[in-house]
Amino acid sequence: MIDPTNMDPAENMGNPTDPASHTDESSDSSTVPFSTDNAMAEIETLKSRAADLEDRNLRLQAELENTRRRAQREVAEALRYASLPLARDILPVLDNVNRGIQAAGNPQADASSFIEGMKLVAQQMERTLTQHGVTKINSQGAVFDPHLHQAMMQQPNEAPAMTIIQEFAPGYQLHDRVVRPSQVVVSSGPPQSS
């Protein structure tokens, strides 16, 4: 019996110089024999495919960059002209204000009709602002909110403390953002009796 631990590894591999003793376990009959022409053709095919992929990659990068620039330009243009609809809607109000100014300069103008005309212009302006999402902040009698109101002064009043008792100038919001806070007088509570 042969002891495998005492075997010489060279004996197991066969003689490397003897072609008959050399066995290639990985070769089989379906493998195409190596040919320089086949290898060169395969290299050229792979080079051509790599060049096509590189060209496609460069074109896609350029297209992506152009899309990014176009989107930036469109956003900048949208921001620049965002107030265009509001400007268009305010111009008729301005026309009516100018007509009122002209009417006021007329010595035969009736003061009550002038006042009535200015009220109509104010209503027109409020409608225009409302169409664009600008609404008036209702403050009278509300509890003071520093996010919506600007306290101009505080004074004793029968109303509970921190209740708005007078409005100097109305505030406005654009959707949920304050454009201008209401300028108000806030109650400090009932007067202290001495």
70-117 confidence digits (pLDDT tens)? 999 999 999 999 989 999 999 999 999 999 888 888 888 788 888 899
Q: Report yes or no on whether pTM surpasses 0.85.
A: no
Helix (H) or strand (E) holding 171: strand 171-174
Q: How many residues does the chain have?
A: 194
Please provide the average confidence, as pLDDT, over all residues in the chain.
Answer: 85
Residue 26 has a pLDDT of: 47
Sign of the dihedral through C-alpha 18, 20, 23, 24: positive
Residue 5 has a pLDDT of: 54
Is the model's pLDDT at 29 over the cut of 60? no
* Band of residue 47 on the pLDDT scale cut at 50, 70, 90: very high
* Residue 77: alpha-carbon gap to chain centroid: 14
Across the range 28-51, mean pLDDT stands at 81
pLDDT, tens digit, 9 for 90 and up, residues 124-133:
999 999 999 9
CA 46/CA 58 separation, integer angstroms: 18
Closest CA to 188 of 152, 149, 158: 158
The CATH label, of 3.40.50, 2.30.30, 2.30.22, 2.60.40, for the domain at 135-176+183-189 is: 2.30.22
Across the range 123-143, mean pLDDT stands at 93
- How much of the chain exceeds pLDDT 70, in percent? 82
Residue 110 has a pLDDT of: 83
Three-class SS state of 128: helix
Comparison of pLDDT for 22 and 49, the residue scoring more: 49
Neighbours of 150 (CB within 10 A): 15
Three-class SS state of 45: helix
Contact (CB, 8 A) for 186 and 151:
yes
* Band of residue 30 on the pLDDT scale cut at 50, 70, 90: low
Tokens of 71: 């989107």
Residue 112 has a pLDDT of: 86
**Domain map of the chain by residue range?**
36-82, 88-132, 135-176+183-189
Sign of the dihedral through C-alpha 6, 7, 10, 15: positive
Residue 33 has a pLDDT of: 63
Across the range 24-29, mean pLDDT stands at 48
Is the model's pLDDT at 23 over the cut of 90? no
Instruction: DSSP letter for 24, please.
Output: -
Three-class SS state of 107: coil
Residue 37 has a pLDDT of: 84
